Amino acid sequence: MDETNTWTGMQFGIFTVSDITEDPTTGRTLSEAEKIRNTITMAKHAEEVGLDVFALGEHHNPPFWSSSPTTTLAFIAAQTERLLLSTATTLITTNDPVKIAEDFAMLQHVSDGRTDLMLGRGNTGPVYPWFGQDIRQGLPLAIEHYNLLHRLWREDVVDWEGKFRTPLQGFTSTPRPLDDVPPFVWHGSIRTPEVAEQAAYYGDGFFANNIFWPSEHYQRLITLYRQRFAHYGHGTPEQAIVGLGGQVFMRANSQDAVREFRPYFDNAPVYGHGPSLEDFSQMTPLTVGSPQEVIDRYAGMRDIFGDYQRQLFLMDHAGLPLKTVLEQLDILGGEVVPVLRKELAKNRPADVPDAPTHANLVAAKYGDQAPRQSVPNPNRGDNLTGTSPYVDTPAKAGSAFGAAATRTGV
């Protein structure tokens, strides 16, 4: 696996929510096909300009197109060499944990380990009944589903029973995680302390959206996560794994940036027709201006949140045309991120963990030993019989199959 541009300290990248929004300056709305192609182009360009991460949201309603992030990310993986592919977010509440386990293990394999994921409850209420769930059970669903997902990636054979799905007996999720090391998990939240608690309990990462609210709001969530991370024995609060979102629009001249971005801000489906651009920029980390203004604003995030591992930027929403988005990526990768890498590496304590990658997770688990490579063998579980026999002779194999045939009527 090529990780020649992986990160001593932090990862920088972009995320998209996959909205299809009318360009307010032209009145044109892209088709789904155009927007999907543009997103793939954007991801590939992110690698070309030296960014580390591309993350894709999950939605099941217009005006969003990304209902199957792993399909899209696998396609991008085939056309990139270094880019780490993630989600923003994967719905742990309405997706079946078994399917999440299988889909992301497969993405691990086809991307040669260049994948992780962010889990969240989602912010679209009607999605719950569409997938047979009750929004009033959102938190219990998130807790139970992740408990199962966590086990499916770490236990070859799982017996499980819960409240929200049918039981599993002798179940083996396939394929097994690459090198027997599960994808790294971030738990994403805008406002929910229980999600920070869940991330801390498992020793996973916590990703704060850091877009819609003042920094003080996210500071409280991150502080809680760090404290609970230490409480559960995973390390010091400073060793907790933190990611932040962000949002910027840049031109060489600040006035040009504001003038160009204003119609997109004013008509954006998320915050359009609300606070002014100036008020929103003051209240939240949205930064519209010169590259130096963005550097100054985001270099200061460490003073608010402590040393952290991942910084993602939203760059393509609200109808911005592809040409403009690619120009923004050129500025971000060419002028902003190289400086932020240096600034945020200064005086970074040696015991603050690097950003998670498959390579350093494998090293942490195996050291200098070769990682275990999962292969089918007789004692790995039998999803058809519901047992996990150790079949080492033809007679035992025939007996196991005979029992299954009797139960299924074969």
Average pLDDT over every residue of 282-310: 96
**Which of 39-53, 91-105, 115-129 has the lowest average pLDDT?**
115-129
Tokens of 356: 């998670």
Which one, of 303, 278, 297, 309, lies nearest residue 336 by Cα?
297
pLDDT at residue number 113 = 97
* Maximum CA extent, the chain: 80
**Cα 188 to Cα 209: distance, rounded to the nearest angstrom:** 7
Please, are residues 195 and 406 in contact by the beta-carbon 8 Å criterion? no
Residue ranges of the alpha helices (H) in 20-167? 32-48, 69-77, 97-110, 127-130, 138-154
Please, are residues 200 and 228 in contact by the beta-carbon 8 Å criterion? yes
3-state DSSP call for residue 37?
helix
Helical (H) or strand (E) element with 243 = strand 242-244
Tokens of 241: 């794994």
Q: What is the β-pairing status of strands 287-289 and 310-314? A: unpaired
Q: Across the chain, how many H-helices and E-strands are there?
A: 15, 13
Domain locations along the chain: 11-373, 376-410
Helices 69-77 and 32-48: crossing angle in degrees, nearest 10, is 50
pLDDT tens-digit series, residues 353-375: 999 999 999 999 999 999 988 87
Residue ranges of the alpha helices (H) in 132-272? 138-154, 193-202, 215-231, 254-267
Question: Per-residue pLDDT for 392 more than 60?
Answer: no
Beta carbons within 8 Å of 37's beta carbon, 6+ residues apart: none
**Cα 198 to Cα 133: distance, rounded to the nearest angstrom:** 20
pLDDT tens-digit series, residues 216-247: 899 999 999 999 999 999 999 999 999 999 99
Distances, alpha carbon 353 to alpha carbons 127, 238, 262, 312, in Å: 36, 9, 39, 18
End-to-end CA distance of the chain: 44
Average pLDDT over every residue of 339-364: 95
Average pLDDT over every residue of 29-56: 97
Average pLDDT over every residue of 98-114: 97
Residue 138: how many other CB atoms lie within 10 Å? 19
pLDDT at residue number 94 = 80
**Which of 83-97, 265-279, 307-321 has the lowest average pLDDT?**
265-279
Residue with tokens 């992030």: 69
pLDDT tens-digit series, residues 192-211: 899 999 999 999 999 998 88
pLDDT at residue number 385 = 63
Beta carbons within 8 Å of 5's beta carbon, 6+ residues apart: 50, 52, 82
Q: What is the CATH number of domain 11-373?
A: 3.20.20.30
**Cα 256 to Cα 250: distance, rounded to the nearest angstrom:** 9
pLDDT at residue number 123 = 66
**Which of 66-75, 134-143, 162-171, 259-268 has the lowest average pLDDT?**
134-143
Question: Per-residue pLDDT for 404 more than 60?
Answer: no
pLDDT at residue number 2 = 40
Tokens of 195: 């999600």
pLDDT at residue number 126 = 79
DSSP symbol at 288: E
pLDDT tens-digit series, residues 287-296: 999 999 999 9
Please, are residues 225 and 200 in contact by the beta-carbon 8 Å criterion? yes
**Cα 299 to Cα 348: distance, rounded to the nearest angstrom:** 13
Instruction: Give residue 120's pLDDT band: very low, low, confident or very high (50, 70, 90).
Output: confident
356 prior amide bond cis, ω within 30: no
Mean pLDDT, all residues of the chain? 88
Rg of the chain, C-alpha, whole Å: 22
Average pLDDT over every residue of 26-33: 95
Please, are residues 309 and 353 in contact by the beta-carbon 8 Å criterion? yes
Tokens of 113: 């380990």
pLDDT at residue number 95 = 87
Torsion sign (Cα): 281, 220, 10, 339? positive
Average pLDDT over every residue of 272-280: 88
Tokens of 143: 């807790």
pLDDT higher at 217 or 134:
217
236-257 as b/e: b if 16+ CB within 10 A: ebebbbbbbbbbbbbbeeeeeb
pLDDT higher at 383 or 108:
108
pTM: 0.89
